[in-house]
Structure 1
């Protein structure tokens, strides 16, 4: 090829790009350095079966190509097929013109691997798949829900057939796959039912505050343990094992400080460790050892990260980039707003600078920062590669570098810039007592609530009687739905803080009420979810839950625009301003015009409004308004406009309560 073949994967370390940024030829020579480390040393060449990809993906990960035995599998590809697999990765990384994010590259690798795995299982070459129409149909059926992810791969290979010397699918088969992708819309992220969402936050914040109250003791204990490890391991070199000062099996020449459990009690933290790592655990736990301290610190980091996701809407990757100084308090338009900001995003104009959050996150950041600073101290002492700015301002989530942790030897070999993978599915394993036995079992009410928000919910995975499995993207989705529909969130212990958060999100994401730049992706998702929530409420108008204060015929006329309308159509109409719905004390108002009476807080304005409907779910609200009116009437003057207004409103609330809302 005459054109330069320059890497199209976005990488932050430009010095590394200089080493293998340009491909000399296609196919490349066997010794082409695909992977290099921060010092320019070659980690893997094109001919190797395993490519360590941490410098490409900014996390610990390897691309393997099926020829050698690994921890998880035996060899499953021939030498020829493995070569084609590697060649396709080179094509996507260097030859195609499309720029891609590291996460996209990993997704492409996983999809290509699935294609090769399918062909290997059916004992055919990947280059011959198009010759077997029945197998093509079988593969298409297997990936039908994710068909859109494969179209790019098959289309790219087809377009570069002249360069590669083979194709996998022909154009007609790719078109058939496209048709399948159109039929299978993507399943929306599950919404966490309010009981489980609130339980997660209540328990998580209890853990965080337990640590905060004893943070000085934990920090002192950590420093003591690290000091004793250093004393016991003078002259340690990388690759050798550390000898624990809490092991009675240590030789005579080494220090033995007694069992760790006794030391933890002396520092006053044993009860906290017992409570969260052993007490009421949903699975058996071993006795307390020094590694328990490391596991507990890992629990603080992971649980804290899920709290941030729940109360800011940040994605997992965004949380992973936060530094310990990320929490800010801003005064905007006379209001206090709590904000999280990224590591390199301190300018007002930066689009990705800030995420709105709530005051509870201050404690979360404080606890996570305490752990991060302790671990960073050890990382520096053990020679872990890091940037200068991390010494005083480390990442909020770090690996377990302390030598009493499981897997520390692997951790210290990875630069801090290669971020640690965090996954909410590990909550139970990392903190065994975060939830009590039975806490996460999905009830009938949980299921109905989740299904109402997500009609396409995977009912097998999230069935009644099964444990709810958390994921980071669920926290974001749940926050957006609750913030856009906050009037229907049931009162919980966290309601005040969450209400303040929802109000801030509405002000600064929904109305863009400040010149301060907030994260555009989360703002767009907030607005999209607001329209979706509006659409779902509109669809519900035909149910018996909504009644007309005027007559049954009036309701039928008010909602006749819903005939044969799907949710997507209603959302589209809402975005265009053709359909509108706003919540009132009575229920909802469908008028697209501003209400001159301020119907959000003046119920009498709805009495003769042809655009208003009452909701039976608002009965508690209307009842409270009715009681308030009665209390005001008791102290109102005998005559005058104020008493007339109060009487008129009281008469109408009585009408709603006694005649419409409680009518069967």
Structure 2
């Protein structure tokens, strides 16, 4: 048999300057387990980090930028009698598993497979069976599958069996009974309830969070230069800002001591800021910087919709301002490997609102990287503050760079905000139910009335897509204002930017999520109008809804026909767009906009007009007309706007006449 050479799957993802490759594996027939000295990982210089015989394999050098999971495999999870088996299974996945997308298999994917390997080893050990017996005998394999209780474990094991079945048994030593077991795992997975979606954050809570973050970041931005200079002084002067006992340890007499922390902070005008946030010593300063980083990252999540790993992969120079059609467009450039099989350059549009978060994070990044001799352009935007050396944690500067993942709640900016304000209220709970009435929110502890809302980065992504894709769902004026710019930019460039599509072109980019979620978002906005019994609807389509959708039917739409309604929006049979007077249901291009008159909606057969909104428009129009009169009472602009006002007032009088005649059902009582 001709010898064959195999290389580690993850090599496809490794950049030339990131690390040296592990050993290649050569086989010339039969099952050949590597020697204990076989190198499975190396550092940049080519020195071995882990060998096959080691109980810990360290793959951190081979992680993709931004990967937040572990990259070290500790085989001590396996009993000694099964430890070699665990290593061999893992080795097969690393060197022989074939990717379904014609690329290598990343370290993150291999680490996910380890969940199945651990369960398989644990099961075999508990039954005193060999791995070969479990994999080759159908009754054992089926019995093991019945112990897997989650969709993640089932789908993971299905993939694992599929990989092992495609590796020739004369290489692996395992004869898989059949792919039926992989099929069985997938079918059992389908029978389990769907994984719950991340909730859309209720508008009151999201608006409050944005406000709190804005106040905090504006305060930090005003002091960031002083904060950086203060920290640099501490880094370079071993006495500055140290306590009495620390300076005595260094042999300094009392009268020669450098200023202690509070006095030192006053030199830079920081005493009030640090006192406000409880920063009283150098370890506390490190925590403060970490929480500032968290605030910046959360703000970027809110205004881009990127994932946790995507945000952590950002470099110092990620934010770019481009000129497109004589306007500034703010773009964030980074990499993603999620669902695309390889690292891919990708962009997210954002708004000017996010600039302050980038400015603060950049200055902190430069500060920390100066300690590590990292080139500025290569600097991670969210490099860990542990490199400052303020907390006593030892860190290897030759190891892969550590980004600040904020895995510990004590590192989060939320500690500076009043939790009482984020307690879930009736309106918040009603919002959750309205968006997903089929979900049993009452049984989920995290979302009960009186609980403090726990924000996660995945929530920001879905929430942004939901609100941006349908502005009618944003009923709080403050939130409308907060999302105004990002809504415009995302709609313009994700929905209409065919020239830039390569920057947004992968299935899991937020641009795809926006298009996917829009039918659901539009349906929710429409149902909110149908279910609103506080005032009658006018306009041709509004009268149609009033006459044909009774209160009972509206409840039915909410509960029974919602999926069908979303399907009709998805097919383009229905459309919904908020207008100044109410809403528009046209599925075709609007020809009324050409007139640039709000009153054009009055005669449109697809218009929904709400009396309350009509009154608001009339009030604003009267003010505008008065302003024009005060400047020039004979101008063409005045005559045009006065005519617009008269048309709106005339329609308002027609509505009043209809209501006074009693020809319209009262929506609150259902009586004439």
TM-score (normalised: structure 1): 0.80
**Separation (CA, whole Å) in 2 of partners of 1:41 and 1:575:** 56
Q: For 1:528, which of 516, 533, 554 is the aligned residue? A: 516
What are the equivalent positions in structure 2 for 1:340-419 lying under 5 Å apart? 340-342=332-334, 352-380=345-373, 386=374, 390-391=375-376, 394-406=379-391, 408-410=393-395, 412-416=397-401, 419=402
Deviation track 1:605-660 (CA, whole Å, cap 9, x = no partner) reads 5557654455xxx665333124345667987879x966763443333565799867
Greater alpha carbon shift after TM alignment, 112-121 vs 626-635: 626-635
In the alignment, does 2:13 pair up with 1:11? yes
What are the equivalent positions in structure 2 for 1:560-599 lying under 5 Å apart? 570-598=565-593
Q: 1:642 to 1:428 in 2, by over 3 A?
A: same
**Separation (CA, whole Å) in 2 of partners of 1:403 and 1:551:** 63
In the alignment, what sits opposite 1:303? 295
Q: Conserved in 2, the CA contact under 8 Å of 1:302 and 1:427?
A: no
**Separation (CA, whole Å) in 2 of partners of 1:660 and 1:351:** 58
In the alignment, what sits opposite 1:549? 543
Q: For 2:463, which of 468, 472, 478 is the aligned residue? A: 478
**Separation (CA, whole Å) in 2 of partners of 1:80 and 1:104:** 26
Shift in Å at residue 17 of structure 1? 7.2
Instruction: Name stretches of at least 5 consecutive residues in structure 2 with no aligned partner.
Output: 337-342, 630-637
In the alignment, what sits opposite 1:178? 186
Deviation track 1:19-55 (CA, whole Å, cap 9, x = no partner) reads 4263224532222211111111111111211111211
In the alignment, does 2:107 pair up with 1:102? yes
In the alignment, does 2:237 pair up with 1:228? yes
Q: Conserved in 2, the CA contact under 8 Å of 1:294 and 1:405?
A: yes
Shift in Å at residue 221 of structure 1? 1.1
In the alignment, does 2:328 pair up with 1:318? no
In the alignment, does 2:150 pair up with 1:156? no
Instruction: Name stretches of at least 5 consecutive residues in structure 1 with no aligned partner.
Output: 68-75, 233-242, 279-287, 345-349, 381-385
Q: For 2:147, which of 114, 139, 143 is the aligned residue? A: 139
Q: Conserved in 2, the CA contact under 8 Å of 1:599 and 1:605?
A: no
Shift in Å at residue 473 of structure 1? 1.7
Aligned residues: 616
Q: 1:377 to 1:63 in 2, by over 3 A?
A: closer
Helix, strand or coil at the partner of 1:100: coil
In the alignment, what sits opposite 1:73? none
In the alignment, what sits opposite 2:35? 29
In the alignment, what sits opposite 1:64? 73
Q: 1:365 to 1:219 in 2, by over 3 A?
A: same
Greater alpha carbon shift after TM alignment, 84-93 vs 595-604: 595-604
Shift in Å at residue 310 of structure 1? 0.6
Q: Conserved in 2, the CA contact under 8 Å of 1:619 and 1:657?
A: no
Shift in Å at residue 573 of structure 1? 4.5
Helix, strand or coil at the partner of 1:216: helix
**Separation (CA, whole Å) in 2 of partners of 1:567 and 1:145:** 29
Helix, strand or coil at the partner of 1:20: coil
What are the equivalent positions in structure 2 for 1:183-198 lying under 5 Å apart? 183=191, 184-198=193-207
Q: Conserved in 2, the CA contact under 8 Å of 1:247 and 1:258?
A: no
Helix, strand or coil at the partner of 2:13: coil
In the alignment, does 2:430 pair up with 1:438? no
**Separation (CA, whole Å) in 2 of partners of 1:655 and 1:92:** 76
Deviation track 1:461-517 (CA, whole Å, cap 9, x = no partner) reads 333333322222221111111111223313354643421110111111122265585
Q: Conserved in 2, the CA contact under 8 Å of 1:228 and 1:245?
A: no
CA RMSD of aligned residues (A): 4.1
In the alignment, what sits opposite 1:329? 321
Helix, strand or coil at the partner of 1:43: strand
**Separation (CA, whole Å) in 2 of partners of 1:626 and 1:654:** 14
Q: For 1:452, which of 434, 445, 460 is the aligned residue? A: 434
Greater alpha carbon shift after TM alignment, 490-499 vs 365-374: 490-499
**Separation (CA, whole Å) in 1 of partners of 2:545 and 2:480:** 36
TM-score (normalised: structure 2): 0.79
